[in-house]
Structure 1
Amino acid sequence: MAQKSPVQGATVLTVEHLRKSKLIFLWLRYPVRRELETFFPEIHFNSKSIEQMRKWFSNFREFFYIQAEKIARQIGCTVPLISVDEILIHTDSSVMSVDFRKFFDPLTILEEFPAWFIASFQCCVRAFYEVITSDRDGQDGWKKPIYKMVANRDDHNVPDWIVNSSCVGRNLTEIVSLETNMSVLSVSPADDSNFSTTYCSVM
């Protein structure tokens, strides 16, 4: 008697996959297919599902960049020109505590953002501010160096509690509440010597 073929993974993405994707975005703004397949082992990716996943991350990035540019332009309009080093984003900044928490709904169950995400967003704001205040924002493709800078700052060490496939069939809120080590998320960029302003150059 012939053996049955192994059951293939699902091809339909659910709201829990969307929520998990939002958490992954805090570490990776530009995940590649190989990484997505690792993060979602229960999904048998086909052209439709991988396109949907890419669309999600594209939407996340769009929101990320819109917020960064908005803040940069607000700073440029409301205060005299300042050094980019004076632009600081903290976990309790309104963009983090209100805008991002509203958009990335799983964050309502996290005490703080990952420090590297805050640092990446801060550098993005600084990069936009530097280009805008030097009147280079009218040039063709002026945002591309900023996109490249953000991509280069991706942290590919997504925590195991996110990658862990045990969240399949379980409520993501429950998984995060049980398995997140909050101390890992509480580092302030200002206190970490690894956060260098040299990353903010768009030249």
Structure 2
Amino acid sequence: MGPSPTRRYSSPGVSGPPPPPDWPLNSGHQAKRARVEHIIRSMAGSPIRHVSVEASQDEASSVNMRGGKRAQECPQQLHHYNHSERSGAGGSVSRGSPGSHSEGLTTHHLKKAKLMFFFTRYPSSLALKTFFHDVQFTRCITSQLIKWFSNFREFYYIQMEKHARRAFMEGVADVGDLTVGRESELFRALNMHYNKASDFQVPDRFLEVAEVTVREFYIAIAMGNDSDPSWKKGIYKVICKLDSEIPSEFKSQY
């Protein structure tokens, strides 16, 4: 059997083979064709929606107003406090002077928060509002301050765990041999992070808390508790109870 002939179609007025005959349609095909024709007629008769230039401008203006409102609600949204000391147009923290009222957080507030960490690792929202009274508090500002202290704690605990693991690997047998003095490597790392200019006298109480912390990490590691994914939670519960009162001088001096 040879190849089947190719079916060709021609437009009216153009010579060529005649079009194929109309095959009879069953009731199902006829109903489907009727629905399609009805849809085509409806689309052809429906009016086209025209948007005026004024309406577009009004909509754009509305979007800008909503965006401006969000910007006012979150004027200083920061992602990580380590980036907040960078200068330049892209900086998220503005520079301010002590005693001046500010709608957002400044590098002065960041320095104060770091120094406050020597006294409290887990500040309450009331403490934040008390010692940052020159800030116009919003949900975003409160969230950012909480994030700052969360980052402070993260660095603190990383240093403690690293120091405790080193002591364990070096064969320190007595946990009492782990001390934190002002000349120790651990304290110098912490002081450089929270008190970079070393213009603040770190309280002795902080050294005591740091000593308790590194010993708690050492005990947990020596007992093999670090195999549990939640092994640090017990340490956090101990340390959060060791916060001390923040000096009143921080309300104005720092």
Same fold (TM over 0.5): yes
State which of 198, 214, 220 in structure 2 corresponds to 1:131.
220
* Cα offset, 1:106, TM superposition: 5.0
Let me know the Cα RMSD of the aligned residues: 1.5
State which of 109, 123, 148 in structure 2 corresponds to 1:31.
123
Q: Which ranges of structure 1 fall in alignment gaps of 5 or more residues?
A: 1-8, 173-203
Contact 1:124 1:150 in 2 (8 A): yes
| Amino acid of the structure 2 residue aligned with 1:108 | S
Is structure 2 residue 140 aligned with structure 1 residue 43? Answer: no
Aligned residues: 154
**Equivalent residue, structure 1, for 2:43:** none
**Equivalent residue, structure 2, for 1:144:** 233
**Equivalent residue, structure 2, for 1:162:** 250
In 2, distance between residues paired with 1:145 and 1:101?
25
Q: Closer, same or farther in 2 for the Cα pair 1:140/1:146, shift >3 Å?
A: same
What TM-score do the two structures reach when normalised by structure 2? Answer: 0.58
Structure 1 segments of 4+ aligned residues over 4 angstroms from their partners:
none
In 2, distance between residues paired with 1:83 and 1:121?
17
| Amino acid of the structure 2 residue aligned with 1:39 | F
Contact 1:23 1:162 in 2 (8 A): no
**Equivalent residue, structure 1, for 2:183:** 92
| Partner SS state of residue 229, structure 2 | coil
* Cα offset, 1:101, TM superposition: 2.4
| Amino acid of the structure 1 residue aligned with 2:168 | G
Contact 2:117 2:149 in 1 (8 A): yes
| Amino acid of the structure 2 residue aligned with 1:77 | M
**Equivalent residue, structure 2, for 1:103:** 193
Question: How far does the alpha carbon of each residue in 1:48-96 deviate from its partner, in whole angstroms, 9 at most, with x for none?
Answer: 101110111011000100000000000000124x222221111111121
| Amino acid of the structure 1 residue aligned with 2:199 | I
Counting aligned pairs with the same residue, the percent is 34
In 2, distance between residues paired with 1:160 and 1:128?
32
Q: Which has the larger radius of gyration?
A: 2
Contact 2:114 2:152 in 1 (8 A): yes
| Amino acid of the structure 2 residue aligned with 1:76 | F
Q: Closer, same or farther in 2 for the Cα pair 1:39/1:106, shift >3 Å?
A: farther
What TM-score do the two structures reach when normalised by structure 1? Answer: 0.72
Q: Which ranges of structure 2 fall in alignment gaps of 5 or more residues?
A: 1-100
* Greater relative CO, 1 or 2 (CA 8 Å, sep 6+): 1
